[in-house]
Amino acid sequence: MDRISIIEKIRTNDKLLSLPQVLSEVLKEVSKEDSSPDSLARIILKDPSLTGRTLRLSNSSFYHRLSDIKTVNQAVSVLGVTTVKCLALSSSIFHPDRVARESGVDPKAFFSYVLSVASASEKIARTIEFKSPDEAFIAGLLHDVGVLFFLHHYPKEYRQITDKKVRTANLIDAEIKVFGIDHGEVGHHLAQVWNLPNYVIDSIAGHHRLTNLDEGDVLQNIVRLAVLLTSDRFSGYEMGLQQRLTAIKRLSAQLSLFKEQVNEISSSLLSGTIDIADYLGIDIGNTEEILMKANEEIWKSYLTIENLYKERHELSQKLLNEERAKGAIESRNIAMATLSHYLNNAVMAIYGRSQIMRMLSDKGQKDKLLDEMPANMDAIDKAVQRIVAVLEEMKEISPIDHEKFDSMSEALNIDNRIEKRLAKMSDETPMAALRSMATPESVGT
C-alpha cells in the first residue's frame, strides 16, 4: 500500500469505520441557528444505538429528574446540544471492534488516550475562555481518528509500528515508513469525506505539527497542547522529555497560559478522563488497583517532595548567588524534571485506579473488586516502590556538596539510577521503605 492508494480508499469507500450518516447530520443540525430538539430528535431516531444511549443518559443520576424521560425530544432538551454531539461521536466510532487484535494495540489504552486529549482540550479551552469549549472537546475527541482507520483497516501492518520493528524516533515517521502517509493526513481526508466542520478537519491535520507553532489558529494550538500533556500509552512512542517540555512552554505562551494553569490542567486530566468515559459509556479499562492506604502513602510522599523541592530551590539560589554552578543548576533541573515525570506517572496510575475502583464500587460490582484484589495490591506496591525510589534519588541529588551531579551526563543518567535502586529494593516491601524514609535520621539527611 502507499499514500495514493490509501487516500483513494478513503474517498471511494462508503463504509469507512462504519461511521453512520447520523453523525454528519447531527453536527450540521446543531450548527444551525434554528436548530430545535424536535429536529435533532428526528435525526437521532434513525440510529437505534444512539437513541438508546440518549434515553439512558437523560435518565441517569447525573440528569436526575422527578419523572422519567420517555421520548427522545425530552432527552435532547435535558442533555443539550454539546452532549448530543458527544453521544453521536462516541456511539459512532469508539467501540473495541474498531481496533483489530492483529494491530497489537489495546483498545482500552487507545480510547483512554483519546478521551484524555479530549478532556485536556476542553479544560484548556475553558481556562483561556475560548469561545466554544465544546468545539475544543470534539476536536480533541476526533484528533486521532486517522490512527483508528489504520487499526481498523491495516492492523497487521500497524503492528510493525507497535512492535517497534520500524527504526525511527517518532510515531509520525514510523507511519510514513510503513504506509507512506501519517495518521494526521489520513484523519484530515476522513473528516473531509464525512463533511465535518473545518475546525475539526484543521485540528486533526495539525495536531502533531510542532515546527511552526506560530502558525495555526487558537483551536489547533489547544489540541496540540492537549496532545503534549497526555501520555501516548498505546503506540509505544513518546517524545523526548526535554523536547516535550520545550514545546509545552512555547504553546502555553501562545495561548497565554501560566505555568500554574498548565499544571492544574495536567493534574486534573485523569479524573476528567474517567468522568468522560463514564459519561459516554466507553470502557477504558478494568477497575484495578488501589486501596485506601495507597492514598495515605501518596500524601506522605507529597509532603516529602514538597520539602525536597523547597530545599532544591534554596540551594539553587545559593549557587546563583555564589556564581558557582550554572552547569550544576541546569543538570539538576533536568534530573528533577525526569524524576518528576517518573513520579507523576506512578501517582497518576494509583489515583486513576482508585477513582475507577470507587466507580466500580458505586455500581455495586463488589465481586469483581474482590476477584481483582491480588493483582490490584501488586500494582499498588510496584507504584509505591517506584515513588520511594524517586524520593530517594531526589534526596541524593539535592545537596550542594554532591559534585557528581554537576555534569550533564549524570543528570541524564537518571533512568539507570532508578532501575538500580528498584533492583536493590526488590526484597523490601514498599511500606518498609517508606517507614525508613520517615525516620528522623533520614529526614535530616
- DSSP string covering 173-208: HHHHHHHSS-HHHHHHHHHHHTT--HHHHHHHHHTT
Task: Report pLDDT for 445.
Answer: 39
> What pLDDT does 401 receive?
45
Give me the residues of the chain with pLDDT under 50, please.
287, 289-301, 400-403, 405, 408, 437-445
Round to whole Å and give the CA distance between 51 and 75.
10
| Residue 87: predicted pLDDT | 74
Question: What DSSP state is assigned to residue 11?
Answer: H
Contact between residue 318 and residue 398 where contact means Cβ atoms under 8 Å apart? no
Q: Output the CA–CA distances (angstroms, integers) from residue 114 to 181, 230, 276, 412, in the order listed.
A: 20, 9, 11, 30
What is the three-class DSSP state of 119?
Answer: helix
Give the total residue count for the chain: 445
**pLDDT for the residue numbered 309:** 61
Which residues have C-beta within 8 Å of that of residue 85, sequence separation ≥ 6? 26, 27, 30, 134, 138
Answer whether 203's CB lies under 8 Å from 75's CB: no
Buried b (16+ CB within 10 A) or exposed e, 194-218: bebbebbbbbbbbbbebeebeebee
pLDDT at 323: 52
- Domains in the chain, please, with CATH? 1-93 (1.10.3210.10), 95-285 (1.10.3210.10), 292-443 (no CATH)
How far is Cα 89 from Cα 92, in angstroms, rounded to an integer? 5
Name the residue type at position 291: L
- Residue 264 half-sphere exposure, CB side, CA atoms within 13 Å? 10
Q: Which three cell numbers stand for residue 410?
A: 549524570
Q: How far is residue 35 CA from its own chain's centroid?
A: 33
Residue 58 CB-density burial (10 A; 0-12 exposed, 13-18 middle, 19+ buried): buried
pLDDT of the residue at 195: 73
Q: What cell was used for 295? A: 492514598
Reported pTM: 0.63
Task: Find all residues with CB under 8 Å of 119, minimum gap 6, and list them.
Answer: 137, 140, 269, 272, 273, 275, 276
